[in-house]
Amino acid sequence: MSKQHTHFPGLFPARVAAVVLVLLLAGCANSQHATKQKDAASYNVQLGIAYMKQGDLARAKDKLDRALTQDPDSADVHSARALLFVRMGDKDKADNEFRTALHLAPHDPNTVNSYAIYLCQNGRTDEGVKRFLEAAHNPLYSTPEFAYTNAGVCLRAAKRDDEARADFERALQVRPNYAEAAFQLATLQFQHGELVPARSSIDGFLGNNDPTPDLLLLGVRVARAQGDRMAAQRYARKLQLDFPGTEQARALANLDHNPG
């Protein structure tokens, strides 16, 4: 005769439901805690960056140390800490933080661009340019013209002007109204004695876009080098009227006092 089993209808399913409910509640609590920690870390990163801009590196480090504790797997936290260590002059720690950020977010173009700037500032031109171009080719990066222009500036610092010229031109192909790329290209042309192309770059930009003090001052210098006094006066008058009190307006005054 087989043994009979006593059944308690509904008891086992109820127990399972209770356990599942407890697990779900615990999961929700953990998720809420994690979200709060991430939000707190993000806030401390913002504070840390603000303190860095003010030059208060001690407070910046305190906030970024807290952010690291709150969200150690955040690429933004490590990127901000990298910038802090750059300001503190600790290249090894800065490099490590940048690499950690890139490991956590290998396709984040802003992180890539920041690391590229750091590399170029430390004479690692080839690595920096490679990173800039990586950012420029990333479809998630909304401003590739910045990366191309930065690559060109990096190459110019290494006296690789032909390569720099190509990157400035690429930036202008992407965004023809990007003033910084136009200025960098015209400056390169002017410094190589290419007065006609430099003038063309300046006038081509100013004919279709709002002027910038940098381009107007450069226009004065190029026009004077060409012996075109009327054009030089036109650039100068525009600079004085539209951008009084700027560094470029003061440079123009010095240029007038020391024309040689």
The string of pLDDT tens digits covering residues 41-56 is 899 999 999 999 999 9
Interatomic CA distance for residues 131 and 242, integer angstroms: 37
Say if residues 195 and 222 touch (Cβ distance below 8 Å).
yes
Band of pLDDT at residue 107, cut at 50, 70 and 90: confident
Is pLDDT at 174 greater than 50 in this prediction?
yes
User: 135 CB contacts (<8 Å, ≥6 apart)?
Assistant: 109, 110, 112, 113, 116, 141, 144, 147
Q: What is the pLDDT of residue 8?
A: 45
User: 149 CB contacts (<8 Å, ≥6 apart)?
Assistant: 167, 168, 171, 178, 180, 181, 184
* Cβ neighbourhood burial of 124 (10 Å; 0-12, 13-18, 19+): middle
Residue whose C-alpha is closest to residue 151's, from 137, 164, 169:
164
Interatomic CA distance for residues 54 and 46, integer angstroms: 13
Q: Residue 172 corresponds to which amino acid? A: L
Mean pLDDT for 217-232 is 96
Higher pLDDT residue, 43 or 255? 43
Q: Residue 38 corresponds to which amino acid? A: K
Q: What is the pLDDT of residue 11?
A: 45
Q: What is the residue-wise DSSP string for 106-121? A: TT-HHHHHHHHHHHHH
In the block, tokens 């004919």 appear at 207
Q: What is the pLDDT of residue 191?
A: 97
Mean pLDDT for 137-166 is 95
Q: pLDDT above 90 covers what percent of the chain?
A: 77
Band of pLDDT at residue 256, cut at 50, 70 and 90: confident
Residue whose C-alpha is closest to residue 148's, from 111, 175, 121, 118:
175
The token pair that represents 250 in the structure block: 């003061």
Residue whose C-alpha is closest to residue 248's, from 211, 216, 207, 226:
216
179-260 has which CATH code? 1.25.40.10
Average pLDDT of the chain, as a whole number: 89
187-210 pLDDT, tens digit each: 999 999 999 999 999 999 999 999
Q: What is the pLDDT of residue 249?
A: 93
7-28 pLDDT, tens digit each: 544 445 556 655 556 555 555 5
Q: What is the pLDDT of residue 2?
A: 47
Q: What is the pLDDT of residue 5?
A: 52
Helices and strands, counts by H and E, the chain: 13, 0
Q: What is the residue-wise DSSP string for 44-75? A: HHHHHHHHHHHT-HHHHHHHHHHHHHH-TT-H
Angle at which helix 213-226 crosses helix 179-191, to 10 degrees, equals 30
pTM for the full model? Answer: 0.78
